[in-house]
Amino acid sequence: MARKVVLSSGKVAYVTNIMADGTVRDSMEGYTLPYNEKTKRIYQHLADMYFNFVAEHGEELEKEWEQKERTCKDAGSNDSSD
């Protein structure tokens, strides 16, 4: 069964996941591709995307995380213990 996906551009795509053995999956969530000569380019591409994202947004994300940690600590110190 095709799953409807709305892309960031607003366009709609329909995705069908058909495995090599013919099985159809509703989602690829939780499925790990085996690492071999055929799939290593996929893993390399994903790693490149991850490192590029961190290089571009890492400092911003770290500041956001620190702010969330401070908010949690402040909320904890404001709790009244009886």
25 CB neighbour count, 10 Å cutoff = 14
Q: What is the pTM of this model?
A: 0.42
Percentage of residues of the chain with pLDDT beyond 90: 30
pLDDT in tens, 20-79: 899 998 888 888 888 899 899 989 999 999 999 989 988 988 999 899 999 998 888 776
pLDDT in tens, 64-77: 989 999 999 888 87
Count how many Cα atoms sit within 13 Å of the Cα of residue 67 in the half-sphere of its side chain: 6
Q: How far is CA 70 from CA 6, 22, 63, in A?
A: 35, 50, 11
